[in-house]
Chains A and B, each alone.
Chain A
């Protein structure tokens, strides 16, 4: 693994050199701030995907929602939501969760049209997701498949932060305790009922703000203290 040998920053620079001109090269052309930057000076992008399953190599992205987090605020006006038309029918068990059926997705553009827009939104921003393995795995796979190179970027994972908090407090982590809404409830955040990618992204962004506010650091936390990997 490239980045384990040379570090993420250097690996991103190499990827920028290797990419052909296009959305991914543009993405890599802008660096995000260094790890010692105070968190409030960093731009984040709360992001949430809906997929047809959990395996990035087999399953497909059908919906992407995001919202920037800037200077301590989730900015709705720059939030976005894209549907992507899958190549195969949506399995019933995942349609039950996100409520997206084939007919909703028939009119949507394919992922190759949507991905560059998402990369533009991600440019210069550190992604924030609840259980970021999904976003990391699927976006990386999509970039490899459609744009020829991996998507290498550190994530803030609000689920991992929450797990750390609960472990530190030595609370027993019960089943479901780390779900987005369960975590939000602990911070007196409202329960958003809808299950759509944009609202979930906003939800994760708000949870992130709450988690940072509750970190008992003397100074505002630096980027490396909120990044989880």
Chain B
């Protein structure tokens, strides 16, 4: 072509995922388009039509419905449609109608498929499930923050420091232990004569399978090893290792290069790649003797968050780290209180509520906690002790920066410092009479986690509550309806709806409109499944396994949570770096087109799942 269609090229170049294509390719793509015009109300694609093009909205808007009439998506300027059909042999499964007079560019299907084959990042965008797309987007976004040691960009192969230490399956347990001692390692790999990996044996196996079981030391190691262990390839990322380890609660992973054993990655290796400051910080907190001292130690939390974000840690991990620090402060304050007031007269357990309980704290936030006492509690005899005890701890937390809960959800509030039988009554009442106040309390107290004390008290309470909620359709329907009260900020045309006016004018509220809706959804699924876990991602996993949410739905929500949370953390890190207070309000100007597109995907997922929940529980009838 003698002169390029510069304006057409420039248009597609500013829209995702075309922005991922090289400039020369973009010119070529522009030259292969066709322009069509569709008037408002026209059916662009009918179900069963043969679709031969990828469509890009130049001006106007269209919407897609599935055969049952449910709205799937609205597409505006720069967005594509027809993809599903193109990826499934060309037959349209959904219909597309024109919402506004539209000029639509059409790229021949063959060109689309060529681009997908040649440009992987471009292909990722069009992967069938929005979730997949988001997942690749996340990976891509993380890879872009170059210059830092990065879980998403470092290969396991680069981490291996020494050749793998192996033993044969017939080695005795005693010889195995001796080798571990001489080599100073916490695990050994078991290989057969051909050098093929058949098992792994760790320190922990020695404790729990040998000593605890009183096995003879002459028995072969094959009797205590973990046979056919999980493994990864040298090309896999550090991130994959971290995921696999945390999902399976293991600390050692054999790594193979081209099918040959190349070494072992341990959780210690992973921790060392990140900053070790979180561990130092925990130790530091335990050394302090006053709340003021702890406050000084905790001042490092914003810096730590910054470091973790930079090193590519996931939002999930960061939430765990920050919440663990809050736990540490709480536990230390209780130890100090005991020193002053003497040992507690009856068993109790201190429970964290809200985001600390869910392991989802980002920065130090308000304190949410309560106290669960043994049923031998006698206010006359024990009331004074526990009042003083909880007051000391809550005051201490306030000094540390976990300010008093405005709703008084704190152990120092008498109502939330009660014996087991009273707590059971509370829950029974909330579940049987789900008025708005009850639902509010339920949302707070269904996210509970024991921090210190007699855990069995808590397990007793939890078991009785879950037994009652599981299958209680009416209560769950109210919880579902409550979960729909906050909607993602997506407008009619799939545009982002910004906060108007006030201090946060023209921003997106990532917490209340992005993260909270997902947390609320996960809580309903988990209660329906009778799941004990409280962390949002854990809840989604468990609920998926129990069948209270679809597999795809759970995966998509997981990614949406991860994406929005990561975006929020990065935003907060930027604010901290600029010496501003971390908040949840992000301006669209801070986002690249790429991030905006992913954020819209994430919000769409939430919206879709809220719609599904509304249908499942018929919340419209309440």
- Which A residues are closer than 8 A to B by beta carbons? 72-77, 79-82, 187-190, 192-194, 196, 198-199, 202, 205-206, 209-210, 213-214
- Across the interface, do B35 and A213 meet the contact criterion of CB distance under 8 Å? no
| Residue in B3, B32, B42 whose CB lies within 8 Å of A198 | B3
Encoded as 1 (CB less than 8 Å from any A CB) or 0, chain B from 26 to 52 comes to 000011111111110010000000000
Cβ-based interface call for B396 (8 A) = no
When chains A and B are docked, how far (Å) is the Cα of A189 from the Cα of B103?
6
The digit string for B1-39, where 1 denotes a CB below 8 A from any CB of A, is 111011110010000000000000000001111111111
- Contact status A73-B36, CB under 8 Å: yes
Of B1, B5, B8, B37, the contact of A210 (CB 8 Å cutoff): B37
Task: Answer whether residue B102 sits at the interface, using C-beta atoms and an 8 A cutoff.
Answer: yes
- Determine if B100 is an interface residue (Cβ-Cβ < 8 Å): yes
B33 and A76 contact, CB distance less than 8 A: yes
Interface: B366 (CB within 8 A): no
For this complex, 19 residue pairs linking A to B, each with C-beta atoms less than 8 Å apart, are A74-B34, A74-B35, A75-B34, A76-B32, A76-B33, A77-B32, A81-B3, A82-B2, A188-B100, A188-B103, A190-B11, A190-B58, A190-B59, A194-B6, A202-B5, A205-B35, A206-B103, A209-B36, A213-B39
Nearest chain B residue, comparing its CB with the CB of A194: B7
B103 touches A190 (CB 8 A): yes
Evaluate contact between B101 and A76: CB separation under 8 angstroms. no
Which chain B residue has the least Cβ–Cβ distance from A77? Answer: B32
Contact between B103 and A76, CB atoms less than 8 A apart: no
Q: Give chain B residues whose Cβ lies under 8 Å from the Cβ of A190.
A: 11, 58-59, 103
Which residues of B sit under 8 angstroms from A210, Cβ to Cβ?
37, 101, 103
Q: Are A188 and B7 touching (Cβ within 8 A)?
A: no
Chain B minimum-CB-distance residue to A212: B37
Which residues on the A side are within 8 Å of B7 (C-beta)? 192-194, 199
Q: Are B2 and A213 in contact (CB under 8 A)?
A: no
- From B5, B39, B60, give the contact of A76 (CB < 8 A): B5
Is B420 an interface residue, CB under 8 A from the partner?
no
Closest 6 CB pairs of A and B: A209-B37, A73-B34, A74-B35, A188-B101, A213-B39, A210-B37
Residue of A nearest to B2 (CB): A81
B189: CB under 8 A from chain A?
Answer: no
Please state if B2 and A209 are interface contacts (CB–CB under 8 Å).
no
Q: Tell me whether B106 is interfacial, beta carbon within 8 Å.
A: yes
- Find the B residue at minimum CB distance from A69: B35
Q: For B106, what are the chain A residues with a Cβ–Cβ distance below 8 Å?
A: 73
A205: B residues at CB distance < 8 A: 35
- Closest B residue, CB atoms, query A73: B34
Question: Which residues of chain A are within 8 angstroms of B35 by Cβ–Cβ distance?
Answer: 73-74, 76, 202, 205-206, 209
- Do B59 and A214 touch (CB < 8 A)? no
Cα separation A77 to B33 with both chains bound (whole Å) = 7
Q: Report the separation of the CA atoms of residues A76 and B38 in the bound assembly, to the nearest whole angstrom.
A: 18
Contacts of B59 in A (CB 8 A): 188-190
Q: Given A73-B106, A81-B2, A82-B2, 11 other A-B contacts at CB below 8 A?
A: A72-B36, A73-B36, A75-B34, A76-B30, A77-B32, A188-B103, A192-B7, A198-B3, A205-B35, A206-B103, A214-B39
For chain B, which range describes its interface: under 10, 10 to 19, 20 to 34, or 35 or more residues?
20 to 34
In the complex, what residues of A have CB within 8 A of residue B2's CB? Answer: 80-82
Q: Are B3 and A76 in contact (CB under 8 A)?
A: no
**Residues of B close to A193: CB separation below 8 A:** 7
- Name the distance in Å between A214's Cβ and chain B's nearest Cβ: 6
Q: Which residues of B contact A213 (CB under 8 A)?
A: 37-39, 42, 101
A76–B36 contact, CB under 8 A?
no
Nearest Cβ in chain B — how far from A213, in angstroms? 4
Q: Give the shortest distance, in Å, between A154 (CB) and chain B (any CB).
A: 22
Q: Are A188 and B102 in contact (CB under 8 A)?
A: yes
Residues of A within 8 A of B30 (CB): 76
In the assembled complex, how far is the CB of residue A194 from the closest CB belonging to chain B, in whole angstroms? 5
Q: How far is the CA of A226 from the CA of B103 in the complex (A)?
A: 20
Distance to closest chain A CB from B326 (angstroms) = 53
- Complex Cα distance, B102 from A177, in Å, reads 21
CA distance A2 to B33 in the complex (A): 41
A190 to B102 Cα, complex, angstroms? 10
The answer, among A81, A187, A192, A202, for a CB contact under 8 Å with B37, is A187
Bound-state Cα–Cα, A198 to B30, Å: 13
Partner of B101, one of A79, A82, A187, A196: A187
A206 CB contacts on chain B under 8 angstroms? 35, 37, 103
Q: How far is the CB of A200 from chain B (nearest CB, A)?
A: 11
State A75–B3 Cα separation when bound (angstroms).
16
For residue A210, which residue of chain B has the nearest CB?
B37
A109 to chain B, nearest CB (A): 12
- Which residues of A are found within 8 Å of B39, using beta-carbon distances? 213-214
Task: Flag B197-210 by CB within 8 Å of A: 1 or 0 each.
Answer: 00000000000000
Bound complex: CA of A206 vs CA of B60, how far in Å?
14
Nearest residue (CB) in B for A206 is: B35
- Given the complex of chains A and B, what is the CA–CA distance between A209 and B33 in angstroms? 16
Residue from B3, B30, B31, B103 whose CB has the most chain A CB atoms within 10 Å: B3
A192 to B11 Cα, complex, angstroms: 10
CB-CB nearest in chain B for A193: B7
- Determine the chain A residues whose CB is within 8 A of the CB of B3 once the complex forms: 81, 196, 198
Bound-state CA distance A209–B7 (Å) is 20
A228 CA to B34 CA in the complex, in Å?
Answer: 25
Question: Chain B residues near A192 (CB, 8 Å)?
Answer: 7
Residue of A nearest to B111 (CB): A77
Q: How far is the CB of B1 from chain A (nearest CB, A)?
A: 8
* Nearest CB in chain B to that of A184: its residue: B103
**Which residues in B have their C-beta under 8 angstroms from that of A214?**
39
Q: How many angstroms from the CA of A171 to the CA of B28 in the assembled complex? A: 42
| Chain A residues with CB under 8 A of B100 | 188
Of all chain B residues, the one with the shortest Cβ separation from A207 is: B37
For A202, the chain B residues whose CB sits under 8 A away are 5, 35
Candidates A73, A187, A189, A199; contact of B5 at CB < 8 Å: A199
Chain B residue at minimal CB-CB distance from A202 = B35
CA of A188 to CA of B33, assembled, Å: 19
When distances are taken between beta carbons in the complex, the residues of chain B under 8 Å from A188 are 59-60, 100-103
Chain A proximity mask over B524-538: 1 for CB below 8 Å, otherwise 0: 000000000000000
Q: Which residues of B contact A187 (CB under 8 A)?
A: 37, 101
Min Cβ gap B31→A in Å is 6
Q: Is the CB of A77 within 8 A of B31?
A: yes
Nearest-CB distance from B395 to chain A (Å)?
63
Within 8 A of A (CB), among B292-346: none
Residues of chain B within 8 A of A189, CB atoms compared: 37, 59, 103
